[in-house]
């Protein structure tokens, strides 16, 4: 995988280990500014059931004081926790038991609560097929979801708000979870095999009986007429 970027990340050096990377796979790691609409935001409509942000275990005041967003890396969710600053949210880090001790205790209490049904893996490293379609729409394997719209009806689409800037993974706490070699291979495989539709990975297309008959060399008008007595 060749990497074209205006900034460096912790897994970039791995490309040189593989002789510069596969030239057939190129990761253009730029901002998604070309997708910003007239409202000044990037919004993607999806019919998939996308992970929502933590709701249970936190009081209203705590939810308002603690910003969340999803960081998506090669089809996997990572819950990001930020800080409320004077000029917006900042200092985003992946949810961690030690860094966010009070938050972890609320979300995963030692004494099981009726609402504490989610496992830590749901927030830390959760692979989901719906993220592949979203990555295809964005043309990016790494991005952040800052808002998950709630539809009025279950049949309606969710409107996701995507962050314009691509996250620098070395600043999120991810290097302590996933080694550089593994991260490079994950993103390279995702770009080469998943982000683009592949006939080997996509489900088979259903063919109608009419098309099956035509493919077999029969004629619908003459091949199946009743015999004349």
Query: What pTM did the predictor assign?
Result: 0.80
The residues pairing with 69 across neighbouring beta strands, listed in sequence order, are 80
Domain membership of residue 207 (yes or no) is no
Domain membership of residue 11 (yes or no) is no
Domain membership of residue 94 (yes or no) is yes
Domain membership of residue 1 (yes or no) is no
Tokens for 14, please give them.
């791995």
pLDDT digits (tens, 9 = 90+) for 200-213: 544 555 556 656 66
Domain membership of residue 206 (yes or no) is no
Name the residue among 50, 53, 77, 78 with its Cα closest to residue 64. Answer: 53
Is the pLDDT at 214 greater than 70, yes or no?
no
Domain membership of residue 85 (yes or no) is yes
How many CA atoms does the CB half-sphere of 229 hold within 13 Å? 0
Domain membership of residue 140 (yes or no) is yes
pLDDT digits (tens, 9 = 90+) for 153-202: 665 788 899 999 999 999 999 999 999 999 999 999 999 999 876 555 44
Tokens for 144, please give them.
């952040």
The count of structural domains within the chain is 1
Domain membership of residue 43 (yes or no) is yes
Average pLDDT score, the chain: 83
């Amino acid at each position: 995988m060749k990497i074209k970027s205006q900034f460096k990340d912790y897994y970039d050096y791995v490309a040189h280990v593989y002789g510069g990377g596969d030239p057939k796979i190129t990761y253009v790691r730029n901002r998604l500014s070309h997708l910003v609409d007239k409202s000044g935001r990037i919004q993607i409509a999806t019919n998939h059931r996308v992970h929502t942000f933590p709701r249970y275990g936190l009081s209203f005041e705590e939810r308002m004081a603690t910003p969340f967003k999803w960081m998506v890396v090669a089809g996997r969710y990572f819950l990001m926790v930020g800080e409320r600053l004077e000029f917006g949210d900042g200092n985003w880090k992946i949810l961690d038991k030690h860094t966010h001790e009070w938050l972890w205790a609320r979300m995963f209490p030692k004494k099981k609560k009726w609402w504490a049904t989610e496992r830590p893996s749901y927030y830390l490293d959760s692979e989901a097929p719906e993220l592949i379609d979203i990555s295809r729409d964005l043309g990016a394997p790494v991005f952040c979801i800052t808002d998950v719209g709630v539809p009025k009806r279950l049949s309606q689409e969710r409107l996701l708000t995507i962050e314009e800037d691509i996250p620098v993974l070395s600043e999120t706490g991810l290097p302590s979870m996933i080694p550089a070699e593994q991260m490079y291979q994950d993103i390279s495989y995702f770009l080469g095999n998943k982000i683009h539709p592949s006939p080997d990975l996509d489900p088979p297309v259903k063919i109608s009986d009419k098309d099956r008959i035509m493919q077999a060399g029969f004629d619908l008008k003459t091949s199946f007429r009743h015999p004349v007595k």
